[in-house]
Amino acid sequence: MPDSSTAPCLVWFRQDLRIHDNPALQAAIERGGPIVPVFICDEKGEGQWSFGGATKWWLYHALKDLADQLADYDLRLIIRRGQTGAELKQLLQDTRADAVYWNRRYEPDVIKRDTQIKETLTADGFEVESFNASLLFEPWKIKNQSGKPFQVFTPYWKHCLKQDIVPPVSVDHRQARPLSEQPASLELDELELLPTIKWDSGFYDFWTPTSTAARQRLGKLAASGASGYVSDRDRPDMDGTSRLSPYLHFGQIGPREVFAAFDKHDSTGVKGGKKFLSEVGWREFSHHLMFHFPHTPTDALRPEFNHFPWEMDEQLLRAWQKGETGYPIVDAGMRQLWATGWMHNRVRMIVASILVKHLLIPWQEGARWFWDTLVDADLANNTQGWQWSAGCGADAAPYFRVFNPILQGQKFDPNGDYVREWVPELRLVETKVIHEPWEAGFDQLNRVVIGRDYPAPIVDHKRGRNRALQAYEKLKALRSK
């Protein structure tokens, strides 16, 4: 085996698709030997959570962006497809490398796979090192006073803020040495990540999936101290959120960079900055929960909810998925999701509430739909969000808290602009009735006929709320037996 000071090192990219603040890449550069950047498409290795359709779209463009970044330093991204362990072994042989470095992931199935790969390669005499690039804190390092994982966000985040936050890693790209003889690589298009039916056409107007775009958006947000974040973040009719979630998921920007940007502008303590950074804290908390409770992507954290009296109905589920529930704020959100691969966070809570409470459809069905349609589909965040809405997770909203989709629309989309953008059937409806058009007179509807041009509500709000509460009472009765 070649001397480690001159032997090549594989840098296995996954959800860290950036060349800045990348500890695995910097550690490989510091070894002194040539660098072999590699991405392996191994959907079976993702377990039951292989890439969804929308995330494949983002992954394609993020990989293209990463390849361009690496090319600036004469490094070629090697793309392979197959079983990860076998492909890494083959690349080690092809390049005569003696080490593999990567940045850690925290999904349960991926942890099992990575552990096996590390054990196998180490036993074969290779150096294997993993690093933290995607979280502020390793989940196993944050514990409550009893030495157990936190299950409530506020004390968790207060504890985290008392810890030192490691600054972003400085990567000395100029010292990176390319490999003189490149191994075989697939072309990016051979991964077939983009859809053959162009349902993704609206994505291109809504997103620029590059690391540069992420840093530019973060820079503007931090420079302003996220001044409008507190007042506007719940308004889907405004551009009041960061829209950094897909960039964070794919690692085109890291949370340490987020904190560093706000530190640079002395805006970590201002009202907007503090609130925005707490949302980054929710992302950390979600990964903390998934690591310590690995069953949660499929089963409720609170085990009693595994016996909840759901009433699965495929027809109602399909209406919800297509944005045809008859509740304008819900339908606007679901159509925004399909068109752009993203949905405003306030609306995510509203559409989740109506699915699991008004319709009594299991939260797992909603989580699966989001997984396939969100460009920012992150297993930890998606799981925590749905369990929060269903009242069955950590720090969750009580199940008896049922959002009123009419009042939610009136409060957070007061002029109906969001509804009009995504539900064109209702563009001419008067503002004062746009969130409950079935109650409007013919003149207020401007010739829109409910039941013909736009559906009537698939469930009456009061009836749906009462049914949800009755189901919760049944669950409590089961628990008392």
Selecting among 46, 127, 129, 279, the annotated active-site residue is 279
pLDDT in tens, 115-159: 999 999 999 999 999 999 999 999 999 999 999 999 999 999 999
pLDDT value of residue 5:
56
Instruction: Select from 246, 183, 220, 461 the least CA-distant residue to 375.
Output: 246
Give yes or no for residue 328 having a pLDDT over 50: yes
User: Of residues 386, 388, 404, 422, which has the active-site annotation?
Assistant: 386
Whether 345 is catalytic: yes
314 is catalytic: no
pLDDT tens track for 391-420: 999 876 677 889 999 999 999 999 999 999
Parts of the chain belonging to CATH 1.10.579.10: 303-475
Between 477 and 73, the higher pLDDT residue: 73
CATH number (3.90.950.10, 3.40.50.620, 3.40.50.1100, 3.10.150.10) of 9-133 reads 3.40.50.620
- Per-residue pLDDT of 265-322, as tens digits, reads 988 888 999 999 999 999 999 999 999 999 999 999 999 898 899 999 999 999 999 9
The yes-or-no verdict on residue 2 having pLDDT over 50 is no
Summarize pLDDT for 41-50 with one digit per residue, the tens. 999 999 889 9
Closest CA to 302 of 363, 257, 261: 363
Annotated active-site residue 310? The verdict is yes
345, 421, 430, 438: the catalytic one is 345
Domain with CATH 3.40.50.620 in the chain: 9-133
Is 422 marked active-site?
no
Candidates 282, 338, 421, 430; catalytic one: 282
State yes or no: is 363 an active-site residue: yes
Reported pTM: 0.95
**pLDDT per position as a tens digit, 362-377:** 999 999 999 999 999 9
Instruction: Provide the CATH topology of domain 135-166+203-292.
Output: 1.25.40
- Of 12, 207, 320, 363, the catalytic one is 363
The token pair that represents 67 in the structure block: 């390849």
**pLDDT-derived band at 1, boundaries 50, 70, 90:** very low
Catalytic-labelled residue, pool 129, 199, 310, 324: 310
Task: Answer yes or no: 386 catalytic.
Answer: yes
Tell me, what's the pLDDT at 259?
96
Largest CA distance in the chain: 82
Average pLDDT, the chain: 95
Q: Where in the chain is the domain with CATH 1.25.40.80?
A: 135-166+203-292
pLDDT digits (tens, 9 = 90+) for 451-474: 999 999 999 999 999 999 999 898
CATH says 303-475 is which class?
Answer: mainly alpha
